[in-house]
Amino acid sequence: FGSENTRALTGEEELDQLIGLTNVKRMVRKIRAYAKRNKGSSDFNLHMCFRGNPGTGKTEVARIISRILYDAGVLGEAKLVETDSRGLLGKRVGETAPKTEEKINEAMNGVLFIDEAYGLLGSGSAANYGAEAISVLLKEMEDRRGRFCVILAGYRKEMEDLLSANPGFASRIPFMPDYTREELGEIAVAFLKKKRYEIDNDALARLLDVTEYFRQRPNFSNARTVRNILDQVILNQNLRAEDNADDSRIILDDVNDYISDEHIDLSASTPKRQIGFSLN
């Protein structure tokens, strides 16, 4: 700092300086390449979703993305406007739409980063305000496509609930990467632990083979797919251990029975590793 040779880092250089986050870095570069190639297209769409715990670098990566998209000539300004649901919602009838519009206009030509975006779901009367904010946001994401970038961020499960409750988000957010195989394994173990089950390593490996099978099919829903599979696997375990109430272990046979019951041919699937936007 202060040296004549000191210059500001480019967004790409800042990305390189982040410790770890290999998958995230690769995904950001994919976004840059997509943006450069498609910025003149009528269906150009920049919006994305970050899922992860607080303090894991989501805001920093969003700021770097704003720089990279500016450096690539995609966005007019290298700026990040950060807010949360409270920055979009009004306290009285008629306040939410103009408040949301104001925040969108502030972020125009740059990135609008909405942290804890699931707060837009709300409850009671707040749910009505949230629905209004989402309606305005979706309309502007469509009408001003390519002129600004919306990044929704928050806890994984809560973000999944938000996206499920509002199909319009899913149709407008191309950059919502799937979990990796390893992350889905962690989700499975945590789900089973909550239900007081354990799973053998070979059973978990086979379960993840099944998730790879579904990954190739339309409408793969990540954690929800895992939970749906496990609900059925648990039923198989309960049948197998019907006379042994102390048996709470999921074994390979339980998963294989699910595969057989659902007529799944794993040999028909070509597993592929997906990039996950895991920041924790």
Alpha helix segments (H runs only) across 216-277 = 223-240, 252-261
271 in helix, strand or coil? coil
Taking the C-alpha atoms of residue 108 and residue 76, their distance in angstroms, rounded to an integer, is: 9
pLDDT mean across residues, the chain: 85
Residue 279 or 27, more confident:
27
Which token pair is 21? 């986050």
pLDDT bucket at 168, cuts 50 / 70 / 90: confident
- pLDDT tens digits along 170-181: 778 877 666 778
Predicted pLDDT of residue 98: 96
pLDDT at 217 over 80: no
Range from 27-41, 133-147, 266-280 carrying the lowest mean pLDDT = 266-280
Predicted pLDDT of residue 133: 93
Range from 53-67, 170-184, 225-239 carrying the lowest mean pLDDT = 170-184
Predicted pLDDT of residue 178: 64
Q: How much is the pTM?
A: 0.66
User: Region 236-254: what's the mean pLDDT?
Assistant: 94
User: Region 257-268: what's the mean pLDDT?
Assistant: 91
pLDDT at 106 over 60: yes
pLDDT bucket at 219, cuts 50 / 70 / 90: low
Range from 48-52, 67-71, 138-142, 206-210 carrying the lowest mean pLDDT = 48-52
- Find out whether 279 and 58 touch, Cβ atoms under 8 Å: yes
pLDDT at 240 over 50: yes
pLDDT bucket at 184, cuts 50 / 70 / 90: confident
Predicted pLDDT of residue 229: 95
Predicted pLDDT of residue 155: 85
Range from 26-30, 99-103, 234-238 carrying the lowest mean pLDDT = 26-30
pLDDT at 24 over 50: yes
Which token pair is 153? 């961020």
Total residue length of the chain: 280
Taking the C-alpha atoms of residue 152 and residue 163, their distance in angstroms, rounded to an integer, is: 10
How far from 65 is each of 16, 35, 133, 203, CA to CA, in Å?
A: 12, 11, 24, 39
Q: How many CA atoms lie within 13 A of 37 on its CB side?
A: 6
pLDDT at 192 over 60: yes
